[in-house]
Chains A and B, each alone.
Chain A
Amino acid sequence: MLARVTTFAIDGVQPRQVWVEVDIRSGLPSFTIVGLGDTAVRESRDRIRAAILNSNFAFPNSRITANLAPAFLRKAGPGFDTALALALLAASEQVPSDGLGDYAVFGELSLGGELRDSPGALAVAEGARRAGCARLIVPRERGREAALVEHLTIVAVPSLRAAAAVLAGADPPPLPSAGGAVRRSAAAPDLVDVRGQQVPLLALEIAAAGGHNLLLEGAPGTGKTMLARRLPSILPSLTRSEAIEVTRIHSVVGVHADGLISRRPFRAPHHTISPSGLAGGGSPPRPGEATLAHHGVLFLDELSEFQRPSLDALRQPLEDGSVTIVRGQRSLEFPSRFMLVAATNPCPCGYAGVDERCTCGEVDLRRHRRRLSGPLLDRMDLLVDVCRPGAEELRAEPRTSSALTLARVADARERQRRRLAGSGARCNGEMDVRVVRSRVRLDGDAELELGRAYAVGMLSARGRHRVLRVARTIADLGRRERVTRDDVLLALSLRQRAAAEPAGI
Chain B
Amino acid sequence: MKQSSACRRCLARSWLLGRLAGHLDRVRDRLEPLLELEDDELIAAVAGRQRDQVLREHAAFDPEAARARCAAAGLEQICRCEPAYPAVLSELAAPPAVLHVAGGLERFVVLSAQDSVAIVGARRASPYGLGVARSLARGLGSAGVTVVSGMALGIDAAAHQGALDAESATIAVLPAGAGRPYPASGRALHRRIQALGAVVSELAPGVPVRRWMFPARNRIIAGLSAMTVVIQARRGSGALLTARCAADLGRAVGAVPGQITSPLASGPHALLRSGAQLVAGPQDVLDGLFGAGARRVPELQKPSLAPDLQALFDAIAEGHDTRAAFERAGLDPDRGLAALASLELAGRVRREAGGRFSAQP
Contacts and interface: CB of A to CB of B under 8 A. Distances in A.
B264 A356 contact: yes
Contacts of B355: 199, 217-218, 346, 353, 384-387
Interface residues of A, number: 43
Interface stretch (B238-246, B291-299, B342-350): B342-350
A391 interface: no
Nearest to B262: A356
Given A198-B333, A353-B127, A356-B262, A492 B344 contact: yes
A450 B114 CA distance: 43
A505 B356 contact: no
A361 B123 contact: yes
B354 A505 contact: no
Interface of B is mostly: helix
Interface in A456-499: 456, 458, 474, 486, 489-490, 492-494, 497
Interface string A367-401: 00000000000000000111101100000000000
B126 A356 contact: yes
B139 to A, nearest CB: 16
B353 A347 contact: yes
Given A356-B264, A449-B345, A493 B153 contact: no
Contacts of B356: 353-354, 385
A492 B345 contact: yes
Given A492-B345, A505-B158, A352 B333 contact: no
B334 interface: yes
Given A356-B262, A505-B134, A362 B127 contact: no
A505 B326 CA distance: 25
A486 B355 CA distance: 20
Interface in B325-354: 326, 332-335, 337-342, 344-345, 347, 351-354
Contact of A497 (B185, B322, B351): B351
Interface string B137-168: 00000000000000001100110010000000
Contacts, number: 112
A490 B337 contact: yes
Interface string A180-211: 00000000000000001011011000000000
Contacts of A361: 123-124, 153
Contacts of B341: 453, 489-490, 492-493
Contacts of A363: 153
Interface centre among A199, A352, A452, A494 (most CB of B within 10 A): A199
B275 interface: no
Contacts of A386: 355
Contacts of B338: 486, 489-490, 493
Contact of B337 (A202, A217, A353): A202
Nearest to B129: A504
A492 to B, nearest CB: 4
Contact of B347 (A356, A449, A456, A505): A456
A362 B355 CA distance: 17
Contacts of A387: 321-323, 354-355
A261 to B, nearest CB: 33
B244 to A, nearest CB: 24
A366 B337 contact: no
B123 A362 contact: yes
B324 interface: yes
Nearest to A205: B334
Contacts of B335: 486
B206 interface: no
A88 interface: no
A362 B352 contact: no
B333 A354 contact: no
A356 B259 contact: yes
B256 to A, nearest CB: 15
Contacts of B105: none
B261 interface: yes
A458 B344 contact: yes
A494 B337 CA distance: 8
A206 to B, nearest CB: 9
Contacts of A365: 353
A504 B124 CA distance: 10
A437 to B, nearest CB: 23
Interface string B96-113: 000000000000000000
Nearest to A504: B130
Nearest to A452: B345
A346 B353 contact: yes
A325 interface: no
Contacts of B352: 352-353
A351 B353 CA distance: 9
Contacts of A353: 127, 352-356
Contacts of A384: 355
Nearest to B183: A363
Contacts of B263: 356
A351 B354 CA distance: 8
A296 B261 CA distance: 46
Contacts of B316: none
Nearest to B336: A199
5 contacts: A198-B332, A346-B353, A353-B352, A385-B356, A505-B157
Q: Which 7 A-B pairs have the closest CB atoms?
A: A385-B355, A353-B354, A489-B338, A493-B337, A352-B353, A492-B341, A346-B353
Given A346-B354, A474-B334, A490-B338, 11 more contacts: A346-B355, A356-B262, A360-B124, A362-B124, A386-B355, A387-B321, A489-B342, A489-B345, A490-B337, A493-B341, A504-B154
Interface of B: 123-127, 130, 134, 153-154, 157-158, 161, 185, 259, 261-264, 321-324, 326, 332-335, 337-342, 344-345, 347, 351-356
